[in-house]
Structure 1
Amino acid sequence: MAEDNRRDPQRIPRSAARALALPLAGQMALDWRLFQGREWLARNLALEIEQRRLFPWIAVCFGFGIILFFQAERPALWAPLGAFIACAAIAVLVRRSLVALAVMTGLAAAFGGFSAGVIRERSVAAPVLARMTIAPMTGFIEAVEDREAGKRLLLRVVEIKGLAEAERPQLVRVSVKKGEGLVAGQFIGGTARLLPPPQPAWPGGYDFARDAYFKGIGAVGSFTGAVRTLDPPRAPDWSLRLAAGIDEARNTLTHRIASAIGGSAGGVSAALVTGKRGLIGEPANDVLRSAGIYHIVSISGLHMVLAAGTFFWIARALLSLAPSLALLWPVKKISAVAAMIGATAYCIFSGSDVATERSLIMTLVMFGAILVDRPALSARNLAIAALIVLAREPEALLGPSFQMSFGAVAAMMALVPMMQRQRPEGQASSPLERGLRGIGQSVLGLITTTLVASFATAPFAAYHFQTLNPYGLIGNALALPLVSLVVMPSALLGVLAYPFGLDRPVWQLMGVAVSQVLDVSAWVGSFNGSTVVIPALSIAALALLSAALLVVALPASSLRWLALVPAGAGLALAATPSRVDVYVDRDGTGAAIRSRGGQLTLVGKTSDFVAEQWLRADGDGRSADDDSLRRDAHCDKAGCVVESAPQRHVAFVQDRAAFEEDCRRAAVVITRLKVPPTCGAPLVLDREALSTRGATTIRFEGDTLEIRSARKGSERLAWSGRPNIKAEDRPSQSPPRQTRPVPEQDLPEEEVSSGEPD
């Protein structure tokens, strides 16, 4: 390095670059050289190169390629794969030019992400049920989950009467009202009511159909009668036996924990250990959500870090008891291996859900860095973990679990250098002072990291769930110490004591701590405004806020200040949401129409789940059974009419007799019937149109309408008085754009029987 510096006096030593790129807490004032333009940019880019901080942007480019894939329509594999190979080859040829190398590497990563999406889509391809079917069905139970009312089964289908093999789904998710005696691995049969996995309730909403496709689930529904245990036509294969064995072990431990503790605390404790959340009652779910700590019952990053950290600490403590081992053996690396093995076993036993697997990959990368003497927490390791996760499951990028977990970790990793403080040399302190200082730093660290994680994940929570929990900082600050210091260590100790039959006292101790967590959650949730419902963010607002998070988290230099630009623009868009005026259900059974009073009015027979999706997207905190939701609709047996604006009526038709009048007076006609060709309404959404579009929204803008559909994308149409023209036949001012909305959130069990996902 010294010889290189003599040859190039302009080269910045890495140690100096590190010191400049990672400022301390007192050195975070705005660098006014920002306004010197090119000199400031060149200096900071040099620091980024010295710190090797360009590598994390490869993961960003990879993710951008995945986003492009989800905007594409039936792409071929050879095109992105060929472009990836070409860009990678060019990058090797131009490696002496840093700018050219960076550009070509970024393009190669983007085409690589696109290719990964195509490969993943084709690898999971399986038949999907085309229409509602009621027929006898047989299959092997792959997983069982207890619910408050019955059980939910994941069934590996063998036969559905009346469906050919090419049309028969491989996996279906069905509910059973009375499922006593049903366990994973059994071969069962019965009459089932099956529906295709439902499309989004509104364009931009949770797309269960896409999630189900990537999980191999081709239908959802319920058994309508008795379920019989039958003799299997063949022996189950090894994968089914393994999955069934793990699921049965999880269910056994779940019931043992729940019975040892009892009540809501028992269901939450069982979920923390096994990942089975079916025994958690809805009141407990609401309490945890209102306090902003529901994430503790979803086995993901927090649990994996605590579990792996506990394994690491125990192994290192035990090895350190022997001085010869501590001095001669690489105790830290051995402990890291033990933590990796323990985390992997925990992931398998907890069900290997998508979020858990992503957390495991990230944890393995972090502990793997210890084995090769690298920093465990670094932007490089985070990028490697993201690349592995996205290459394996590209669809994860669109889900809140990936976005919130990686966003929170990236933000906290960027915060760590800013929080570092150098203690003045020669300053003495007593043991009491050191202890108090340590406690104060721990409390400050918990509060600060919780605050940073809350800010980092807020845009994703607002986009996917349309809710914010302002008091989540208080809830997390009070609950996480109990979870970290009592609950998770008790969970590990209980699992170790379980084979010996000595686990009951441990579960009871864990239950006491979980009860305290629920009490804290109930107290925080009782605050006025603990849960704020906000209008759904636009994709543009989410993209800008995500870009701001990346810019503030990935650079190591003053380039972080550039995040103010997209953050300001994103917040401006979020503060001025553009609400839609009409929501139409995917099958035309109901709609929500904005009345002259400014609030949504429900018409038709929409399910409560769909209605609540519309209300949350509009920032409306009313429940689906609120009487005021139907107050402004003028209804009779033939349908309903809502006055959305002066001289602008929206008609919901349920009887053909209403077409003559409504087609003459209404600006928009919505029906699940087939509209007669003589209908002169400017815009018609009938059975034929909705079968093509899916769920649809309409926004009135002066003399134009903006129409967004789950399947056809976005259109802007001019008002027209010409009769017999349906929306899909009108010329649009801009061509339709294919979009695939972003998922995902937990859905209630009762929606399974009505065709909605769980």
Structure 2
Amino acid sequence: MEDNRGKTRRIPHGVARTAALPWAGGAGVDWSLLDGRGWLSRNVGLEIEQRRLFPWIAVCFGLGVVLFFQADGQPALWAPLGALALYASAAIALRRSLPAFSVMIAVAAVFAGFSAGAIRTRSVAAPVLSRVMIVPLTGFIEAVEDREGGKRLLLRIVDMKDVPEAERPTRARISVRNGEGLQAGLFIGGTARLLPPPQAAWPGGYDFARDAYFKGIGAVGSFSGPVRRLDPPMPPGWSLRLAAQVDEARNSLTQRIALSIGGAAGGVGAALVTGKRGLIGETTNDILRGAGIYHIVSISGLHMVLAAGTFFWLVRAVLALAPGLALLWPVKKIAAIAAMIGATVYCVFSGSDVATERSLIMTLVMFGAVLADRPALSMRNLSIAAIIVLAREPEALLGPSFQMSFGAVAAMMALVPLMHRRSTEALPATLFERGIRWVGQAMLGIVTTTLVASIATAPFSAYHFQSLNPYGLIGNALALPLVSLVVMPSAVIGVLAYPFGLDRPIWQIMGAAVSQVLEVSAWVGGFSGSTLVVPALSAGALVLLSLALLVLTIPASTLRWIALLPGAAGLAFAAAPDRYDIYIDREGAGAAIRSIKGQLTLVGKPSEFVAEQWLRADGDGRSAKDAGLRQDALCDAAGCVVAAAGQRWIAFVQHVSAFDEDCRRAAVIITRLKAPPTCQTGFLLDSAALSARGATTIRFMPEAVEVRSVRKGSERLPWLNAGVPRAEEMPARERPRQARPIPEQDFPEEEISTGEPD
């Protein structure tokens, strides 16, 4: 094409192809109509030229997954599959019209994500225990994890006394205090106290029951007596034998690494190699969390990239030593294949956890791009990895691991073009100056990528964990060089030397580096305010901030600045969180009530883990053991009352004798008992209501009450007793006369869930 000066000017292929595609009406596409040949038309053309429409397919796929998990009951499978086929056919028919083709592909991706969720849910369906029971059982040990107080077994159940096969869970996670001699592959029997996997402690909290369902775990609990080794009634299947052999090899290597290094560093070093974190003490966990580097003990993207990168570098370096091979063979591609094999073996050996499998998929896609002579780091490859991960495990989208890992990688990929801009300055003359410059650039890269990743993952951390680590930048900047340059290369070399028995010195070198990491963590974690507890973000704030992250990272043009709109709105919602006024345990064992002073007050006997979840969701940094949590509750043997916000009495009833008085004066009654039919109060949550709702939260409004529960979702109900007297109107003689913490309640042990989920 010639311009007005007679010179030939090339038109980018993507723009030329776009301009040649007709609209549905047959006319050519005129992008200038979108914005008067202005900013929008230029940027849309650039997005198409850079092929940045493809990543939005992954976004639409994820949207379909979210819609599936918002659906009630079990959606039909034929509906999303039929819609997927319809829109995919429409996309093929309209492929010559880019706008219509893009819309059809986007809608088809939404239905594909919905279908993936429906298929996955059906494929993992297995019985789940319906009630608490103490029952004799037998089964094969599938995996063993060492803990400070014993062992935790993943048991593939063969028989449960008096439990029909249709109701018997396939797997159970059971703790045992004295697990000496127990190992994967053994057939054992014993009496266990089992309960259904616990649901979320509050609506929006971590749902262990959902995660357990997709792992095929239908019960959790502990052995209440001796565990016996038995002769199996049948030989174990090949999958169980393979899982047992891998788990036993992992445990053996875990013990060897821990003993070679010793101390807290031994547990951390073993976890970095085998994924077994049971030997890490809670004190060490707190140190790592306080420094913002706890992610290093969870084998995920960082470890997979470093391990695969070590394999890639070793193989490429060895092959480059032979000039004939380096000149005649595709050394880079051979090294990429070796890295893919090494990463796969590392994933299997480290337990094939969900986060590890996602990291493996991302790594395989990146090295697959090397084999295809494509850029390894690209938003397109990240999108392909996301689609593969969500097609295999749609439930991963709801968890923090997927959100934080893909969010961080997307943000860093958006930063890569800026970091790769070449400086116009001349290179330093001396080798020392070049070395100093290289070190400076490497440290600047670590600090910059850590800062970007921390900002990108902050909304997800606040939503899922209600905590932020403002000094995590310092902790990561000091610790990651040791992990990258010493710890992970030593791990790879140590595993290769392990079969020859020459690995102990390697583990000791790795242990020295891990010890330095722990010292750095303790130093950073000792800063005042190293861990900030923040109120849980609302779902709306998380959606807006996630949308801002997507719009900021996917576009290649200045369209990314549109992200300021949802980002600002999300930050506004996050800055003014709507706190709940009451948190209620799923079984009515206890509650947290916001007193008239504005802080939560505990009543009853909720588990320590559940109480911690409530406090963190409220942005309250107090421990569940803090005695001040019960000072605002007025209690006697029959129950407690709390003067809540809005000058309303909230009653927690423990004995039927309290119903007569509390039903007359309380705005809300919480009890695990069955309330009498004559009890007329503003809002009543007794055993029947809790059985239907599960864990519940309440937020007071002037003329209504907003109720959210795990099982029934959100409801807004009007006050039913506007005439209930307020706290300041109550005669003193009608109030409890004892202001003391409620004594320990004698609840049946089998009705209280105190297990902390993973």
1:492 has 2:511 as partner: no
Instruction: Work out whether residues 195 and 220 of structure 1, in 8 Å CA contact, stay in contact via their aligned partners in 2.
Output: yes
Q: How does 1:34-49 map to 2 (within 5 A)?
A: 39-49=38-48
Q: Is the 8 A contact 1:151 1:179 kept in 2?
A: yes
Q: Distance in 1 between the 2:701 and 2:253 partners?
A: 57
State the 1:295 CA deviation.
Answer: 0.3
- Residue pairs, 1:94-109, within 5 angstroms: 94-109=94-109
Contact residue 379 and residue 410 of structure 2 kept, 8 A: yes
Q: What is the rounded CA distance, in whole Å, between the counterparts of 1:150 and 1:671 in structure 2?
A: 35
Answer yes or no: is 1:385 the counterpart of 2:385. yes
1:673 aligns with 2:666: no
> Structure 1 residues 281 and 221, CA, compared in 2 at 3 Å: closer, same or farther?
same
Counting aligned pairs with the same residue, the percent is 74
Aligned pairs for 1:312-351 (under 5 A) are 312-351=312-351
Report the counterpart of residue 744 of structure 1 in structure 2. none
Give the 3-state SS of the residue equivalent to 2:219 in structure 1: strand
Q: Distance in 1 between matches of 2:83 and 2:305?
A: 38
1:138 counterpart SS class: strand
For 1:473, the aligned partner's letter is L
Aligned position for 2:116: 116
Contact 2:293 2:475 in 1 (8 A): yes
Q: Hey, what's the Cα distance between the residues in 1 that align with 2:668 and 2:596?
A: 15
Q: Which residue of 1 aligns with 2:462?
A: 462
User: Is the Cα contact below 8 Å between 2:583 and 2:697 reproduced in 1?
Assistant: yes
- Assess if the C-alpha contact under 8 Å between 1:152 and 1:176 holds in 2: yes
What SS class does the counterpart of residue 76 from structure 1 fall into? Answer: coil
Counterparts of 1:266-281 in structure 2, within 5 Å, are 266-281=266-281
**1:10 Cα deviation (Å)?**
10
Partners of 2:502 and 2:430 in 1: CA distance:
43
How many residues matched?
715
Supply the AA of the counterpart residue of 2:465. Answer: F
Provide the residue aligned with 2:757 in structure 1: 757
- What is the alpha-carbon distance in structure 1 between the residues aligned to residue 634 and residue 418 of structure 2? 60
Residue aligning to 2:168 = 168
Tell me which residue corresponds to 2:568. 568
Q: Is residue 428–residue 434 contact of structure 2 (8 Å, CA) maintained in 1?
A: no
Give the match for residue 624 of structure 1: 624
SS of residue in 2 equivalent to 1:197:
coil
Contact map agreement 1:221 1:754 (CA 8 A) in 2: no
Residues 1:161 and 1:426: Cα distance change in structure 2 (over 3 Å)? closer
- Indicate whether 1:56 and 2:55 are aligned: yes
State the 1:432 CA deviation. 3.5
User: 1:426 Cα deviation (Å)?
Assistant: 6.8
Alignment of 1:170-569 (within 5 A): 170-424=170-424, 429-569=429-569
- Distance change in 2, residues 1:565/1:720 (3 Å): same
Do the aligned partners of residues 259 and 582 (structure 1) sit closer, same or farther apart at CA in structure 2, a change above 3 Å counting? same
**Deviations along 1:399-432, whole A, 9 cap, x unmatched?**
0000000000000000011223333287774433
Per the alignment, residue 145 of structure 1 pairs with 145
Aligned match of 1:583: 583
CA distance in 1 between counterparts of 2:241 and 2:102 reads 48
CA contact (8 A) 1:195 1:755 kept: no
Is the Cα contact below 8 Å between 1:290 and 1:521 reproduced in 2? yes
> How much does 1:438 deviate?
1.6
Equivalences for residues 66-105 of structure 1 within 5 A: 66-73=65-72, 74-105=74-105
Paired residue type of 1:71: Q
Could you tell me how far apart the structure 2 residues matched to 1:199 and 1:482 are? 39
Aligned equivalents of 1:161 and 1:37: distance in 2?
A: 76
Distance 2:425 2:525 in 1: 46
Deviation (angstroms), 1:757: 3.1
Establish whether residue 688 from structure 1 lines up as the match of residue 688 from structure 2. yes
- 1:733 is aligned to none
- Give, in whole Å, the separation in 2 of the partners of 1:414 and 1:215: 34
Report SS of the residue matched to 2:165.
Answer: coil
Return the alpha-carbon distance in structure 2 between the equivalents of residues 646 and 45 of structure 1.
53
Matching residue's letter, 2:205: G
In the TM superposition, what is the alpha-carbon distance from 1:647 to its structure 2 partner?
3.7
Deviations 1:124-144 (A, max 9, x none): 000000001111010000000
Counterpart-to-counterpart distance in 2, 1:345 and 1:334? 17
Report the AA paired with residue 46 of structure 1.
Answer: G
**1:384 corresponds to which letter in structure 2?**
I
Do the aligned partners of residues 330 and 321 (structure 1) sit closer, same or farther apart at CA in structure 2, a change above 3 Å counting?
A: same
**Partner of 1:604 in structure 2?**
604
Shift of 1:14: 5.5
Structure 1 residues 70 and 678: CA distance shift in structure 2, 3 A? same
Distance 2:537 2:631 in 1: 28
Secondary structure of the corresponding residue to residue 179 of structure 2: coil
Q: CA deviation at 1:703?
A: 1.5
3-state SS, counterpart of residue 166 of structure 1: helix
Amino acid at match of 2:194: L
The answer for the alignment partner of 1:641 in structure 2 is 641
Conserved? CA contact 1:222–1:752, under 8 Å: no
C-alpha contact 1:203 1:695 (8 A) present in aligned 2: yes
Shift in CA distance, 10/565, structure 1 to aligned 2, threshold 3 Å: farther
* Unpaired stretches in structure 1, ≥5 consecutive residues: 4-8, 18-32, 725-750
2:695 partner amino acid: A
Offset of residue 41 of structure 1: 1.0
Give the superposition deviation at 1:682. Answer: 1.0
Letter in 2 for 1:362: M
Provide the TM-score with structure 1 as the length reference.
0.92
Residue 144 of structure 2 aligns to a residue whose secondary structure is strand
Change (3 A) 1:332 1:463: same
Instruction: Tell me the secondary structure at the aligned position of residue 423 of structure 1.
Output: coil
Query: Which one has more relative contact order, counting CA pairs under 8 Å at least 6 apart?
Result: 1
The alpha carbon displacement at 1:38 in A equals: 6.6
Which amino acid in the other structure matches residue 582 of structure 1? I
* 1:234-290 deviations in Å (ceiling 9; x for gaps): 000000000000000000000011011111000000000000000000000000000
How many angstroms apart in 2 are the aligned matches of 1:383 and 1:150?
42
8 Å contact from structure 1 (residues 222, 753) kept in 2: no
Query: Post-superposition shift, 1:722?
Result: 8.6
Tell me if the contact between 1:641 and 1:652 (Cα under 8 Å) persists in the aligned partners: yes
| Residue pair 1:461, 1:467 contacting (<8 A) in 2 also | yes
The alpha-carbon distance between structure 1 residues 253 and 723, as it changes in their structure 2 partners (threshold 3 A), is farther
In the TM superposition, residue 704 of structure 1 has moved relative to its aligned partner by 1.0
Per-residue CA shift, 1:482-526, capped at 9, x if unaligned?
A: 000110111111111111111111111111110000000000000
The one-letter amino acid of 2:577's match is: P
Contact 1:124/1:213, CA 8 A, preserved across alignment: yes
Question: Could you say if the C-alpha distance between residues 367 and 137 of structure 1 is closer, same or farther in structure 2, counting changes exceeding 3 Å?
Answer: same
